[in-house]
Amino acid sequence: MALRLAARFGVSSIAADYRRVILAVALENSTSFPRVVSKYCARLIPQKNVRSNAVSSALRAVIESPASGQCVYDEAIFISGSLDLANHSPSSCRLQAYADDRCCAETRILFPRLDGLMGFRMFGRISPAVMEPRDITLRIVASWNGEQSETLAEQNTRLIPARLRERPFGEVVSPESETLLHRENIYGSGPPIEEAGVEVSNLLHAYLPRRASVVDVGCGAGAYGPPLLAAGHDWLGLEANAHCCEILKRRQLPFRPVDVETTRLPCNDAEYDCAICIEVLEHTKDPQTFVTEVARIAAQRALFSVPNLELLPYLYDWRVVPWHLLEGDHRNFFTRGSLHRLLSQSFHQVEVFPYGEHPLRTGDGVPLYVHLFAVADK
């Protein structure tokens, strides 16, 4: 019976194993017998005059990512999709992705999908990097054993220059980097900032008395020295970081180095009218001792800025944590209440308010603020 059916479907001879399979399937699927036999004959019986490495017109692919017209960075192009191999072996298939005429990614590892097709994923880049955004045609090209390649799919995509070298940590995460990175390579403070932030500058000008003597505790690269000096204040920076001290020397800004082995700041009691501590308190080992020292050297007022921990629950739905809260050397985290309580132990009057609007809004469209600013009077 199996031989007659095989002949009916154009097969002149059939091996014993194939006979048993067809008969078993036929008995279990008697209502759809011709369709089942045809299906299994096609899968099990070798086809004559078909080379395993030849490219057939039956081959087709679909690019699922990036979507048509989607923007992608030149340094990080993720490409995925599906492929109908027809009668070709996936183990000998080589897929390449081309951005116009430049090969940007390749894979030799395909995987079976639930829809019966083979899936592919590639992560590529354009080298050298592009200078300006432009539209490209993304092509998927297949070949077997290095012979007779054929384009199977095309997709229009918008290529955007990533300009990694111009971004913080860009060199670290460059696709060219093959260095195994550790925690100390990633976590830490950002680079020293030499330019003053506009919003903080405005707050300092608003809350410092005119022509006051000001000590900038943890001044970093001295970002707020020039604008305060230009406004008529007598400014001095205190800094423990050796690299920042070298920057202060280069910028010819007045400063005193701080000995990290001692908790005492290098100033006399009430030597300065005011103290400022901009994004410093969160880094200190002993916040209470630090605040006590700041109060000792400031005769009238101290101004503090810290990251605002109160953002976290509001941004939870977006799965977003402000980057400055993740710095590896942040030891202390503040809400308005905890900051007020800490400062009130050394200052007579303390007021805390937020500043620095976050680019994301809550689901209710309410603005959030990244930092807390405190005005503490003796």
Strand partners, 235: 214
Tell me if residue 338 falls in helix, strand or coil. helix
pLDDT tens digit sequence for 191-201: 668 889 999 99
List the structure tokens of 23. Answer: 């008969």
Strand partners, 234: 213
Tell me if residue 186 falls in helix, strand or coil. helix
Strand residues in 188-340 grouped as ranges (E): 213-217, 234-239, 255-257, 272-278, 298-307
Amino acid at 268: N
> 61: closest CA among 102, 107, 104, 103?
107
Tell me if residue 137 falls in helix, strand or coil. strand
User: Would you say residue 342 has pLDDT above 90?
Assistant: yes
322 pLDDT band (50/70/90 cuts)?
A: low
**Rounded mean pLDDT of the chain?**
81
pLDDT tens digit sequence for 136-155: 999 999 998 877 789 999 99
Burial of 166 (0-12, 13-18, 19+ CB in 10 A): exposed
User: Would you say residue 365 has pLDDT above 90?
Assistant: no
Tell me if residue 245 falls in helix, strand or coil. helix
User: Would you say residue 36 has pLDDT above 80?
Assistant: no
The answer to whether residues 371 and 363 touch, using CB atoms and an 8 Å cutoff, is no
List the structure tokens of 147. Answer: 């012979």
Average pLDDT over residues 105-127: 91
Amino acid at 148: Q
189 pLDDT band (50/70/90 cuts)?
A: low
CA distances from 348 to 58, 288, 295 (A): 82, 15, 10
User: Would you say residue 329 has pLDDT above 70?
Assistant: no
> 73: closest CA among 122, 153, 154, 133?
133
Q: What domains lie within the chain, and their CATH numbers?
A: 2-44 (no CATH), 60-160 (2.60.40.10), 198-377 (3.40.50.150)
Q: Which residue has the tokens 């710095």?
A: 327
The answer to whether residues 196 and 223 touch, using CB atoms and an 8 Å cutoff, is yes
Query: Tell me, what's the pLDDT at 326?
Result: 60
CA angle 42–44–45, rounded 5-degree value? 75
250 pLDDT band (50/70/90 cuts)?
A: very high
Query: Tell me, what's the pLDDT at 114?
Result: 92
CA distances from 295 to 205, 254, 273 (A): 20, 21, 11
The answer to whether residues 85 and 112 touch, using CB atoms and an 8 Å cutoff, is no
158 pLDDT band (50/70/90 cuts)?
A: very high
Average pLDDT over residues 105-129: 90
